[in-house]
Amino acid sequence: MSNRFTILSIISGILIGAILLSFLFNTRQELKDIQVLMRSDRFWHVDHLAHEQAKLLEYLLLYASEPSEDKLSRIEKALDFLWVRVDVLTEGYNRPLLQDNIPEILNYADDLGEYLEANEQSILEPTPETVLQTIKDLRSLRDKYFEPHHSFTQLNLSNYRYFHSRFIETYRRNDLILISLVLVVLFYSIILYTEVRRNAKLLRSAREANVVKSDFLANVSHELRTPLNGILGSIQLIDRTKMPPSELEHIRTLEACGKGLEAQISDILDFNKLEQELLFIEPHSFLVQPFLDECYQSFVFSAKNKGLEYTKSYKNLPIWLIGDTVRMRQVILNLLSNAIKYTEVGSIEFKVNWQESSQNLELMIVDTGHGIADEDKELIFEPFRQIKQLSDPKVLGSGLGLSIVKKLVEAMSGTVTVNSVLGVGSEFKIVLPLKAGFGPEFPDADEEATTGIDDTLSKSPEAEIPLFNDTHVLIAEDNPVNIRILQAILKRFGVKSTVVYDGKAAISLLMQPDHDFNLVLMDLNMPEMDGLQATEIIRENGNDIPIYAVTAYATSQDRTACQQAGMNGYISKPIKLQDIQEILENHRTADANS
């Protein structure tokens, strides 16, 4: 939230606190006044003591003038009430209060109580002589304490008036306090509502900007991958068998640079997907050691070229585990690549340990490279952040690798930590909670091929290429560079190909009953009709020919869209020989099984 809202919140909080403190102070003062008024309740009993005594005198006088049972009954009731007033004032907690404040009134009550106790019988069973004597005695007691009782009455009246005014004043103050509190809360609510609306607007703007950014990155990726497809595709098609070593080295350098650019593009797209939480973890059962070996073997050549000692060690590995090998490979290759990049001399060790008790796979990459200063250990996981290496200023990159590693590991519910000493080396440790996988105890080579392990890194363009002379492929693609690359790769495999430039043309050829196409390579973005629409129409017409998407948008959403349209799979640009070979081999296997 903005600084303005923070300041207003603080001010509102102070005002509310001050109002509540004022309210509590007034309430406390009111309680004190009520306590004092409760004490004045004793004075109320004193006043009624004189009142009940006067009633008793009145009934005695009436009885003296004309005795009757009714008047005698009134005398008994008046005596009972008078006894109650005497007991209230002379017993319990009232006595010390009267003793300290109005001792004359206490003496009055004591004297009256003693008199009533001594003459109760004569009062309840009066004769003409005793009635007159009782009247005389009660008048004498009343006259004796008239002055203190009169003073008490004035004081009592004064107290009631004072407390009445105090209560009215307190209630008015409390009303003002409550009104102030309501106004402050209303003011704060208006500010909060305004700020919430402002933040919602900013959030919408940020989301819209994020969508624009994502679309921009996707389009840039597409535009970059298309020429990159031409570069890497052409490099793959160069005949290296008779090439001089010096020229072969130039080709390998060119290929490495192209793959590096491809990796940078993938990192930016992956980071964008991680930011939007669009990158999903897709666990499956895989063979553990072959997967780890494949990751390790990816950098044997790079480590050898730099003269580094490159070793591995596995401990307690199970045969099968369940995990997302695509994301795990991305994490491992990123860390191994960094280790080789930042290590000039010494060694790199790839250590893996399976913790059976906690069901955790521990991956450690230990190097003797530059090392990382303590203050930089947290910064290295921030996006677009690179720690300057004075000893190797030529090291370049986007600064996204470790940020992506951290986000991917956390997406797999794991942790990543780093221990490093500047100038000595670093140890990156990944802990991934994985479940036990399932499969045969001793898998054969065919089963290993179905575990999600990609062996493309171990293959080279110089390897012997199988031929698929009996295959005819329909290429639906509108970009001339991509067409040339696809045709050249298919020709390398001995495959016949036919090209159309949009989805409608592809449908027209496939609708002909005498076509001899075995499979289709379909671009997703074409004029007139895109690849997804074309595939849906082909499937609606009952044609089950294998269709593979060729796209620069290699996202999970694209994969889902391809599956929903009825495609058998997809390959992403830049197109690799191994990807085409795998599709052709799958087609040949499917034909053989059918």
Does 29 map to a domain? yes
Average predicted confidence (pLDDT) for the chain: 78
Q: For 255-291, b where at least 16 C-beta lie within 10 A, e where not — what string?
A: beebeebbbbbbbbbbbbbbeeeebeeebebbbbebb
| pLDDT computed for residue 416 by the predictor | 92
Among the three residues 160, 175, 194, which one is the final residue of a domain in this structure? Answer: 194
Domain count, the chain: 3
Does 216 map to a domain? no
Spatial CA neighbour of 417 closest among 464, 364, 338:
364
Burial class (CB in 10 A: 0-12, 13-18, 19+), 557: exposed
Residue type, 540: E
Q: What is the mean pLDDT of residues 582-589?
A: 86
Same domain, 543 and 575: yes
The CA–CA distances, whole Å, from 361 to 355, 419, 426, 429, 453 equal 6, 18, 20, 10, 18
Share of the chain above pLDDT 90, in %: 21
Asked if 233 and 574 touch (Cβ cutoff 8 Å), the reply is yes
Q: Which of the two residues, 314 and 188, has the higher pLDDT score? A: 314
Q: Which two tokens stand for residue 179?
A: 């009104």
Q: Which two tokens stand for residue 278?
A: 């669009």
**Separation between Cα atoms, residue 306 and residue 339, nearest integer Å:** 12
The CA–CA distances, whole Å, from 142 to 160, 209, 371, 577 equal 24, 95, 105, 126
| pLDDT computed for residue 450 by the predictor | 37
Same domain, 430 and 476: no
Residue type, 346: G
Asked if 415 and 432 touch (Cβ cutoff 8 Å), the reply is no
DSSP output for 491-542: HHTT-EEEEESSHHHHHHHHTSTT----EEEEES--SSS-HHHHHHHHHHTT
Q: Is 396 helix (H, G, I), strand (E, B) or coil?
A: coil
Q: Nearest 5°: phi and psi at 355? A: -95, 100
User: Looking at residue 316, which CATH number applies to its domain?
Assistant: 3.30.565.10
Among the three residues 159, 194, 229, which one is the final residue of a domain in this structure? Answer: 194
Does 89 map to a domain? yes
DSSP 395: -
**Separation between Cα atoms, residue 224 and residue 260, nearest integer Å:** 13
Quick: pLDDT tens for 423-440. Answer: 889 999 999 999 988 766
Q: Which two tokens stand for residue 532?
A: 């997804």
**Separation between Cα atoms, residue 188 and residue 306, nearest integer Å:** 65
| pLDDT computed for residue 226 by the predictor | 66
Same domain, 173 and 52: yes
Does 548 map to a domain? yes
Quick: pLDDT tens for 332-362. Answer: 988 998 898 889 899 999 999 999 999 999 9
Place of tokens 């940078």: 264
Same domain, 289 and 403: yes
Q: Nearest 5°: phi and psi at 284? A: -155, 165
In this prediction, residue 453 has a pLDDT band, given cuts at 50, 70 and 90, of very low
In this prediction, residue 586 has a pLDDT band, given cuts at 50, 70 and 90, of confident
User: Looking at residue 589, which CATH number applies to its domain?
Assistant: 3.40.50.2300
| pLDDT computed for residue 217 by the predictor | 66
Beta strands 320-323 and 435-436 are antiparallel
| pLDDT computed for residue 188 by the predictor | 74
Same domain, 429 and 521: no
Does 254 map to a domain? no
Q: Which of the two residues, 286 and 251, has the higher pLDDT score? A: 286
Same domain, 423 and 476: no
Same domain, 433 and 540: no
Beta strands 569-572 and 547-551 are parallel
Residue type, 348: I
Same domain, 469 and 442: no
Question: Does the pLDDT at position 521 exceed 80?
Answer: yes
DSSP output for 143-201: HHTHHHHHHHHHHHHHHHHHHHHHHHHHHHHHHHHHHHHHHHHHHHHHHHHHHHHHHHH
Burial class (CB in 10 A: 0-12, 13-18, 19+), 542: exposed
Same domain, 57 and 174: yes
Does 209 map to a domain? no
Does 458 map to a domain? no
Quick: pLDDT tens for 224-246. Answer: 766 777 777 777 777 666 778 77
Quick: pLDDT tens for 491-502. Answer: 989 999 999 999
In this prediction, residue 207 has a pLDDT band, given cuts at 50, 70 and 90, of confident
Same domain, 469 and 428: no
**Separation between Cα atoms, residue 588 and residue 207, nearest integer Å:** 47
Quick: pLDDT tens for 464-510. Answer: 667 888 899 999 998 888 888 899 889 989 999 999 999 999 999 99
| pLDDT computed for residue 484 by the predictor | 87
Out of 99-113, 408-422, 521-535, which region has the weakest mean confidence (pLDDT)?
A: 99-113
Does 362 map to a domain? yes
Spatial CA neighbour of 309 closest among 459, 393, 425, 423:
425
Same domain, 374 and 493: no
Among the three residues 160, 194, 228, which one is the final residue of a domain in this structure? Answer: 194
Asked if 394 and 388 touch (Cβ cutoff 8 Å), the reply is no
Out of 158-167, 403-412, 465-474, 556-565, which region has the weakest mean confidence (pLDDT)?
A: 158-167
| pLDDT computed for residue 82 by the predictor | 84
Same domain, 582 and 439: no
| pLDDT computed for residue 185 by the predictor | 77
The domain of 25 spans 2-194
Beta bridge partners of 435: 322
**Separation between Cα atoms, residue 64 and residue 133, nearest integer Å:** 11
Asked if 300 and 415 touch (Cβ cutoff 8 Å), the reply is no
Beta bridge partners of 61: none
Place of tokens 């003073």: 151
